[in-house]
């Protein structure tokens, strides 16, 4: 049986992506679920409270086996369709999401997931992906290659350093979209510097 938190997140993110773009992809669903998890850490929630884990791929992208398992169960239940990795929420899926969204159990998750997806108001998906590839947990996966667990002790320490700097500038912002946008802008600048350095090395 799939993880309940992962199932809700998969359905919620898919629903929002479908409302905006018509469909979603596996990569986008993993990406925004991971960003939502990071925003929960910004609110000082314990990492274990998120309910499932992520790994970093050598592409610099996050991946969760629990989200993949959730997709299979949601598809079997007729709540989403998977067409070669392009995911669409069904009418029954929207009804199920509407019901689940009323449950108190998922209340706090909705705020983090919503804030993560609202980053699309300021950044296209590709820019969010490039920015998050510079996040302290994902950056080693991109730099060194291979798949590695995310949100482990070393990466968390660096992540909290980023967040402390944000607190210093913004305080305890009520609207998560503000710190999310500022942080993504910072990471995006790191990504541009990384790409620029790579281009310079390629010339030498």
pLDDT at 167 over 90: no
Structural domain of 118: 4-203
Least confident of 1-15, 18-32, 109-123, 164-178: 164-178
- For residue 18, the tally of other CB atoms under 10 A from its CB is 18
Number of domains composing the chain:
1
pLDDT at 63 over 90: yes
Asked whether 4 and 71 are in contact (CB, 8 A), the reply is no
Predicted local distance difference test score (pLDDT) of residue 198: 53
pLDDT at 78 over 80: yes
- pLDDT per residue as tens digits for the range 99-111: 999 999 999 999 9
- Report how far residue 86's alpha carbon sits from residue 22's, in angstroms, rounded to the nearest whole number: 10
Cα of 53 vs its chain's centroid, Å: 12
149 vs 199, higher pLDDT: 149
Q: Hey, what are 126's tokens? A: 């590709």
**Mean pLDDT throughout 11-21?**
97
How many residues are there in the chain? 204
Query: 73 CB contacts (<8 Å, ≥6 apart)?
Result: 1, 2, 7
pLDDT at 204 over 50: no
Q: Is 190 exposed, middle or buried (0-12, 13-18, 19+ CB in 10 A)?
A: middle
Predicted local distance difference test score (pLDDT) of residue 75: 97
């Amino acid at each position: 049986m799939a993880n309940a938190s992962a199932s809700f997140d998969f359905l919620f993110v898919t629903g929002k992506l479908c409302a905006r773009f018509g469909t979603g992809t596996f990569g986008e669903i993993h990406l925004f679920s991971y960003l939502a998890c990071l925003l929960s850490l910004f609110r000082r929630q314990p990492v274990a409270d998120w309910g499932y884990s992520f790994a970093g791929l050598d592409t610099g992208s996050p991946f969760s086996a629990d989200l993949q398992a959730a997709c299979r169960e949601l598809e079997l239940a007729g709540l989403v369709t998977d067409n070669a990795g392009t995911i669409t929420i069904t009418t029954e899926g929207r009804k199920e999401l509407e019901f689940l969204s009323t449950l108190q159990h998922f209340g706090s998750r909705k705020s983090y997931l919503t804030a993560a997806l609202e980053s699309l108001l300021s950044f296209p998906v590709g820019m969010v992906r490039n920015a998050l590839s510079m996040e302290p947990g994902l950056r080693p996966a991109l730099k060194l290659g291979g798949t590695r667990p995310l949100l482990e002790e070393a990466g968390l320490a660096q992540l909290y350093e980023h967040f402390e700097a944000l607190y210093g500038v913004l305080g305890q912002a009520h609207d998560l979209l503000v710190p999310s946008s500022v942080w993504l802008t910072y990471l995006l600048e790191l990504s541009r510097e990384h790409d620029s350095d790579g281009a310079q090395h390629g010339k030498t």
